[in-house]
């Protein structure tokens, strides 16, 4: 698919893009000329999001993908491969926090851990693994893992995160950070880049008390999805600033 200047538009897949930060990330990448594949586990919710983007003249299309379902992931890979033959940007954005996580550590049930890790950690790995070959077919792939400052061991241990402690979510995002370092290591010395980001405290369904808008919250994902070939690899960012592990 050619864009107006006659070169191939870059292809970006964002998981959990039917709403919240993921939707806004799709919009901002679309505004930059990307072909955006709006990843959604629910066809109707996903199509609704795509229709909005198309009405804004964004080149968007739905990719049905439930990151926690292997068959769904494989179907999504087949769809992207047959239509585009490669993937330039993968943003692992879908994430969850369990209500039961809002408790003292020893009171958090194992079910909350399983539910959180299923999407935030295991699904993120399965989606990345499944799209790895297509990413490597890009001439400059970008993997962006949406983590959280809550996944920073340093910021929790030095007191910067205050009393907000959700053990399953926080540890799942710490795992995402470590996984990103490993994917990035695999791409060392190549034009490909893998980084992890904190979007900020963003007002969404996941964080109803969020302090910033989705427009601000999507900026860091977009920034890392569009970094140059001499940009960072294996780092943790928020709005242009590197965060500590
Ligand atoms: N908001 C914040 O302040 C904040 C701060 C730091 C990090 N983050 C991270 O930012 C990312 C996006 O969060 P958000 O605030 O935009 O949340 P959101 O508005 O609740 O959107 C979450 C997205 O993930 C999908 N999703 C949720 N649970 C799922 C599941 N079990 N299986 C498959 N997909 C699922 C949702 O799909 P459905 O609509 O189908 O449920 C939706 O598309 C997450 O990784 C989150 O951890 C957010």
What pLDDT digit, counting tens, does each position of 52-94 carry?
999 999 999 999 999 999 999 999 999 999 999 999 999 999 9
* Per-residue pLDDT, 2: 37
Q: Is 153 in the pocket of ligand 1 (CB under 6 A)?
A: no
Question: Is 169 designated active site?
Answer: yes
Q: How far, in Å, is the centroid of ligand 1 from the Cα of 180?
A: 18
pLDDT confidence band for 8 (50 / 70 / 90): confident
Ligand 1: which of 62, 72, 95 to mutate, judged by most atoms within 8 Å of the beta carbon?
A: 95
Give the full edge-to-edge strand order of the sheet including 193-197.
60-64, 35-40, 11-14, 89-92, 142-146, 193-197, 236-238, 241-242
d(CA 44, CA 172): 29
Residue 43, CB half-sphere, CA atoms under 13 Å: how many? 2
Question: pLDDT digit string (tens) for 136-180?
Answer: 999 999 999 999 999 999 999 999 999 999 999 999 999 999 999
Per-residue DSSP letter, 244: P
Catalytic residue among 10, 117, 169, 219: 169
Q: Is 117 labeled as catalytic in the residue annotation?
A: no
Residues 6+ away with beta carbon under 8 Å from 244 = 152, 154, 155, 236
Q: What is the rounded CA–CA span in Å between residue 238 and residue 140?
A: 22
> Would the pTM of this model clear 0.85, i.e. be above it?
yes
Q: What is the mean pLDDT of residues 3-24?
A: 84
- The whole-angstrom separation of Cα 179 and Cα 143 is 12
| pLDDT tens-digit map of 27-57 | 999 999 999 999 999 999 999 999 999 999 9
Centroid of ligand 1 to alpha carbon of 230 (angstroms) = 30
- Supply φ then ψ for residue 196, to 5 degrees: -120, 145
* Contact 94 CB / ligand 1 (< 6 Å): yes
CA 28 to ligand 1 centroid distance, Å: 17
CA dist 57 and 77 (Å) reads 25
**In this predicted model, what pLDDT tens digit does every residue of 105-147 receive, in sequence order?**
999 999 999 999 999 999 999 999 999 999 999 999 999 999 9
Q: Which residue minimizes the CA distance to atom 33 of ligand 1?
A: 66
39: Cβ below 6 Å to ligand 1? no
């Amino acid at each position: 698919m050619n864009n107006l200047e006659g070169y191939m538009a870059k292809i970006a897949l964002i998981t959990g893009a039917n709403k919240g930060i993921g939707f806004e990330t799709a919009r901002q990448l679309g505004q930059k000329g990307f072909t955006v594949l709006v990843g959604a586990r629910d066809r109707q919710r996903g199509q609704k999001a795509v229709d909005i983007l198309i009405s804004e003249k964004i080149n968007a299309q739905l990719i049905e993908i439930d990151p926690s379902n292997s068959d769904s992931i494989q179907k999504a890979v087949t769809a992207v491969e047959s239509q585009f033959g490669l993937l330039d940007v993968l943003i692992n954005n879908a994430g969850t926090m369990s209500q039961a996580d809002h408790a003292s550590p020893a009171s958090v049930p194992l079910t909350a851990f399983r539910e959180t890790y299923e999407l935030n950690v295991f699904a993120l790995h399965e989606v990345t693994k499944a799209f790895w070959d297509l990413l490597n077919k890009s001439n400059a792939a970008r993997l962006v893992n949406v983590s959280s400052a809550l996944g920073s061991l340093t910021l929790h241990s030095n007191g910067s995160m205050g009393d907000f402690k959700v053990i399953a979510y926080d540890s799942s995002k710490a795992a995402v950070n470590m996984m990103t370092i490993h994917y990035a290591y695999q791409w060392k010395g190549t034009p490909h880049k893998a980084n992890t980001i904190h979007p900020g405290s963003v007002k969404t369904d996941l964080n109803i008390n969020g302090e910033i808008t989705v427009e601000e919250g999507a900026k860091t994902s977009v920034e890392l999805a569009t970094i140059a070939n001499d940009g960072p690899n294996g780092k943790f960012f928020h709005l242009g600033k590197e965060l500590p592990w």
